[in-house]
Structure 1
Amino acid sequence: MAKIALGTTREATQPDCIQALIVEFIATFLFVFAGVGSAMTADKLSGDALVGLFFVAIAHALVVAVMISAAHISGGHLNPAVTLGLLAGGHITVFRSILYWIDQLIASAAASYLLYYLSGGLTTPAHTLASGIGYTQGVVWEIVLTFSLLFTVYATMVDPKKGALNGLGPTLVGFVVGANILAGGAFSAASMNPARSFGPALVSGNWTDHWVYWVGPLIGGGLAGFIYENFFINRDHVPLVVDEESY
């Protein structure tokens, strides 16, 4: 059973934590800027919903892969659900997780406000459930999609027995994000990320269905992290280090 460390407030003043928070802010900002920006571009230029969905999926897949790689100092979580999933596996302390969540939300808000300004006041599209999709369906969609995301993170980046997949983790995580958007984008919007949903909702003032994008991803991410860490990783000879740089 993975041991979850509470951590202390002293972490906030440690140079490595400060550096990690700065990098996590930059990476999350750039991720949301590209992700939300692609959705705004799709709304502005494409009259075809399928083309727009494909465009958004590709943009998210690319930026996720690059930002995870670029933000290796912080671990490149970009997502409170990823942070929770890693917390459930004992890879980051509770206190540092809270700092990451605050960091991610502020970065998302900053990116969304900047996009609103740079686009001349265009609406930042907030995540909402599609017509005919109820709350239960939306939550389950987000649980499954985020579980898929965290399962991939663990299998390709956390598991010490990842073997030939070593080094391919960020790219493969980007692939699963793009695939999940193609699969669920037309139904639940396929957020998988409370921070990604928070910024556009804040700027647009549209909080419709917003709670779904917290409940679903956090359950899916936490569940995947707990299950993979405790049932699939054998750490008999591998010490568990609480280190955000290596997930």
Structure 2
Amino acid sequence: MRSAKRLLTPLSYLRIERQDKWLDELILPLIFLLVTLFVFWLLDWKLVIFGSSGLLAGVGSYLQVVTGFYIASLAAVATFNQKNMDHRMEGESPSLTVEWKGGKREEKLTRRRFLCFLFGYLSFLSIFVYFGGVAANLLAQAILNALPIAAVFWVKWFFVSAYLFVVYNLICTTLLGLYYMTERIHRPKSEFVEVAGDNVPEQDDANSDQGVSTDAQAPKQSEEGW
């Protein structure tokens, strides 16, 4: 049991509470799935799913490329030598409930911890989806032949819907990781500068003469948590 828990640790990403969690992980993939199924319906469901030229093979080719990227990104984040990576995120930080001394407590995640969970989840999911697609390609014909003819359509497209939902979840989470790696972690941490009391009236007078509000000049701490 403990060994299985260790192997499934990357899935802890799904337990992280953060801003826009349901939008990124559920609503957007579901919207993309419904649009895709609508397109399939317009095509009268005439789409190759299995086989060397089918949908699963195409997704598998994509996963062969990105799985290495996910694992390399995980290694880079874990060893990235930047001081602010070990700071908690500003605003509403992502949090994870963890076991602690026989009980449970809520842990506010640092940038490094959050990104390690994110790319660990992507690595795990890409491997799972890739080998799941390979297994489906190998077993699909035998399974469909064993089913009643009336059930073949529904079973086939139920599997395709579940498979595509996971793929779209993978894509949305990848875009979140790219946003964070390209922009968010490089944002400088906001700092407040304390102004000496004797200088405050002069600054206020000077700003008043110029019609500028002192509040507009004061640095503000970012409210975006992640």
> Could you say whether these structures have the same fold, taking a TM-score greater than 0.5 normalized by the shorter chain as the test?
no
* Larger strand proportion of the pair: 2
Q: Which has the larger radius of gyration?
A: 2
